[in-house]
Amino acid sequence: MTPTATANTTLPYRRAGFSSVPEMLDYAARGETGVNFFDPRGRLTAALTWREVRDRAHVFARRLIGAGFARGERLLITADTWPGFMVSFFGAQYAGLLPVPVSLPAGLGGKDAYLDQLRRQLSASGAVAALATDELAGYLTAAAEGSAARLVGPMSAFEALPEKPVDLRPWGAGERCYLQFSSGSTRFPLGVDIRQDALMANIAGQIGDNGLAVSAQDHLTSWLPLYHDMGLIGFMLAPLASQRAVDYLSSRDFARRPLQWLALMSQRRASVTYSPSFGYDLTTRRAQTQAIDGLDLSCVRIAGIGGDMIQPNVLSRFAERFGPAGFSAGAFMPSYGMAEVCLALSFGKLGDGFHIDDVDRQQLSEERVATPVPESESSRTFVLCGLPLPGHPVEIRDEAGKTLPERRVGRIFAQGPSIMAGYFEAPEASAEALKNGWLDTGDLGYWLDGQLVVTGRAKDLIIVNGRNIWPQDIEWSVEELPQLRRGDVCAFSIDAEDGAESIVVVVNAWPAKDDARTALVGAAQQIVKETVGVDCVVQLLSPSIGLPMTSSGKLSRSRARTRYLAGEYANGGRRPVPVAT
Amino acid sequence: MRASHKFKVYEFADDAMSDAPTVTRDDVRADICRRLDPFRTDARPITGATVITKDLNIDSLAVMDMVMELEDTYDISIPLNVVAEIHTVDELTDTVLKIRGER
């Protein structure tokens, strides 16, 4: 088996300018590039040219149409990184069905929670058909019992449908495209109604000169999950819009062997990749104990960062570790976006790396002003997230809705052709997010030299005595304790009896000994006091309970708060100690 | 599927056990217990009946790291749906042996 070509020989390079996903695939199918799947040892397991993807998608589409599925109905797909995902996703595009990519089970003993999540997603999307990888077909079948789905199973169940000589009915300009479950809660999943027009506009921005400036020489590598907009749009649909080849490593394999991500890029001379901060962190950590001889990352033109709050220290450590392997820190490209704009809203400058802004912590919290200061104990560091995409006005507004000037912190609103039409069949949630044609991103930020600086989620902001405190400030500083890891801490506020807010810090650790627990609580309180200058309650939580996450794997502070208030975290959330009889 | 393309295969983990002819159930269970030992909550030893995500002081990330190490050690891949149904040390032990036997 050999990988597909990484460049087309005769097909003229076309960067965006298509009207729909089927039109993009029809065009790319005239060349030799395509998608390649690698296992955790870097061995090629499958390779499909875009032409093969299209041909198989056509067959899949005729089966769906022949089976009587109506235009606009939904097809749920477990979005593992496998060729069947591409075939079914694009098959649905040619059949006029809406694909609904969903995530994979989380880990040991996670079956019940996963089935529950599938049931909610089946119900929220009203899926009439549901396709799983072979290994998850049993779960999906169990979850779909009693749902609206008429056909549920692995690829073989769909391949058993007769391929009838029916006309394809591809989605066209202005029509729907797919449903993207956003990072909302897993309990009430919200599917962003992604439309062809918005998608085309956002992709044009992503790969255009103000974004990644993708050229006919570029070749992409990704381990990002395909149920997330950054993986699906950024590393499947945007490469398709520019006829690029993509090499995939599954997210699970990346977690197992993060260095294989870099090895794959090095071997295949890939030029563009992306990851949230935690991916750079994981890779750097693994490289502390593993040799990286032979890695040559001088081919990496863009190492994008998105999907979580960008952590400058993590990026610096990555650049330091992999600099000797040819990695250039200039390749870092901070960006900001969300599924509600398809994917991207702003990008840093090409080749410029990342830039930070140290601001005074006190003025930030008390006056919502980002005043530049030298880095110190009392400063807070943010990464600049670049310029908004052309044609996408962005405003930062105060609580009264007034637009704010540079260095004043407020809520980020966006407008433009990439903005979603709404959440699928959720008018209330849509009306809350879309106001007079503007998207309320729910994020806070400020302007600096025309660049957006994102400071955090508005709803997570903690306000104590009129001061704004960012939960990340608390979390990141407490996580510096030697016995804790990144992601072990969750900070939020609760209403105290006098109507003020007080801070609760939940720490995902439960040392076996009483005095070790007392010491950890004391150390955490001390750090919070030093960092943000307020007292707090520290609640230790048994790691077997774990902090709640959203469906896209981000910490859910609001659910942690709900559980804390419900008393679920008392005694570390452990089962009550049985009374001796 | 083994790759026929010309790129070098990078090995980032030691596959100490991958060529070992046989491993017994006791070997695998002892190996798992040893890996889980740092996560004990009290003096009670870890046994086959220990429920990994409930009885131990271990978070989901560390559990998955351990599963991945086992996969590397025994040169197996445990499917996601199988992982999601494992609760005890014995269940994990039997899964490792079963999949190893199917190679």
Question: For residue range A77-133, what is the model confidence (pLDDT) as tens digits?
Answer: 999 999 999 999 999 999 999 999 999 987 788 888 889 889 999 999 999 999 999
Amino acid letter, residue A392 = H
Return the pLDDT at B77: 86
| Inter-residue contact B80 to A104 (CB < 8 Å) | yes
Q: Count of A–B CB contacts within 8 Å?
A: 119
Tell me what the mean pLDDT of segment A438-449 comes to.
95
Q: Who wins on pLDDT, A40 or A414?
A: A414
Query: What's the mean pLDDT when you consider all of chain A?
Result: 92
Q: Which of A2, A42, A135 sits opposite B81 (nearest CB)?
A: A135
**Considering only CB atoms, which chain A residues are within 8 Å of B56?**
544
**Considering only CB atoms, which chain A residues are within 8 Å of B57?**
510-512, 542-544
Using 50, 70 and 90 to split pLDDT, how confident is the model at A464? confident
**Considering only CB atoms, which chain B residues are within 8 Å of A257?**
12-13
**Considering only CB atoms, which chain A residues are within 8 Å of B44?**
none
Question: For residue range B74-91, what is the model confidence (pLDDT) as tens digits?
Answer: 988 888 889 989 999 999
| A531: nearest Cα among A483, A486, A464 | A464
**Considering only CB atoms, which chain A residues are within 8 Å of B2?**
43
Strands, sheet with A34-38, edge to edge from the N-terminal-most edge strand: A44-49, A34-38, A246-249, A220-222, A272-275, A302-305, A332-337, A344-347, A387-388
- Among residues of chain A, what percentage have pLDDT more than 70? 96
Return the pLDDT at B9: 42
**Cβ within 8 Å, pair A43-B71:** no
Return the pLDDT at A527: 86
**Considering only CB atoms, which chain A residues are within 8 Å of B15?**
none
Distance between A40 CA and the closest CA of chain B, angstroms: 9
Distance between B24 CA and the closest CA of chain A, angstroms: 23
Question: For residue range A190-240, what is the model confidence (pLDDT) as tens digits?
Answer: 899 999 999 999 999 999 999 999 999 999 999 999 999 999 999 999 999
Tell me what the mean pLDDT of segment A283-312 comes to.
90
| A266: nearest Cα among B77, B13, B12 | B12
Whether residue A219 lies within 8 A of chain B, CB to CB, comes out as: no
Amino acid letter, residue A441 = T
User: What number of residues does chain A have?
Assistant: 581
Q: Which of B54, B68, B79 sits opposite A256 (nearest CB)?
A: B68
Return the pLDDT at B12: 46
**Cβ within 8 Å, pair A263-B12:** yes
Tell me what the mean pLDDT of segment A291-307 comes to.
94
Three-state SS at B87: coil
Q: At A427, list the tokens.
A: 């008018």
**Considering only CB atoms, which chain B residues are within 8 Å of A577?**
none
Among positive and negative, which fits the CA dihedral A290, A507, A551, A544?
positive
| A506: nearest Cα among A540, A546, A467, A529 | A540
Q: Who wins on pLDDT, A213 or A561?
A: A213
Residues sharing a CB contact under 8 Å with residue A297, sequence separation 6 or more, in sequence order: A262, A265, A266, A322, A325, A326, A327
**Cβ within 8 Å, pair B7-A267:** yes
Distance between B34 CA and the closest CA of chain A, angstroms: 18
Tell me what the mean pLDDT of segment A425-443 comes to.
92
Using 50, 70 and 90 to split pLDDT, how confident is the model at A483? confident
Residue A384 DSSP class: B
Q: Which of A138, A139, A543 sits opposite B57 (nearest CB)?
A: A543
Residues of B engaging A, defined by a Cβ cutoff of 8 Å: 1-5, 7-13, 40-42, 52-64, 67-68, 71-72, 79-87, 92
**Considering only CB atoms, which chain A residues are within 8 Å of B76?**
none
Rounded to whole angstroms, the Cα distance separating A522 from A536 reads 10
Q: Which of A42, A109, A543 sits opposite B7 (nearest CB)?
A: A42
pLDDT at A575 over 70: no
**Cβ within 8 Å, pair B72-A256:** yes
**Cβ within 8 Å, pair A135-B80:** yes
Q: At A158, list the tokens.
A: 């769909």
**Residue A456 vs residues A184, A495, A547: alpha-carbon distances, Å:** 15, 21, 19
**Cβ within 8 Å, pair A42-B82:** no
Complex-level ipTM:
0.73
Question: Which residue in B60, B68, B77, B78 has the most chain A C-beta atoms within 10 A of its own C-beta, making it the best mutation to test that interface?
Answer: B60
Return the pLDDT at A127: 98
Residue B97 DSSP class: H
Q: At A146, list the tokens.
A: 């009693």
Question: Which residue in A544, A545, A547 has the most chain B C-beta atoms within 10 A of its own C-beta, making it the best mutation to test that interface?
Answer: A544
Return the pLDDT at A500: 65
List, as ranges, residues 89-148 from A with C-beta within 8 Å of B: 104-111, 114, 135-136, 138-139
Strands, sheet with A489-495, edge to edge from the N-terminal-most edge strand: A489-495, A501-507, A536-540
Residues of chain B with pLDDT under 70: 1-21
Question: For residue range A265-282, what is the model confidence (pLDDT) as tens digits?
Answer: 999 999 999 999 889 988
Following DSSP, what letter does each residue of A393-414 receive, concatenated? -EEEE-TTS-B--TTB-EEEEE
Return the pLDDT at A110: 81
**Cβ within 8 Å, pair B84-A44:** no
**Cβ within 8 Å, pair A42-B79:** no
Rounded to whole angstroms, the Cα distance separating A491 from A473 reads 9
**Count of CB atoms situated within 10 Å of the CB of A430:** 18
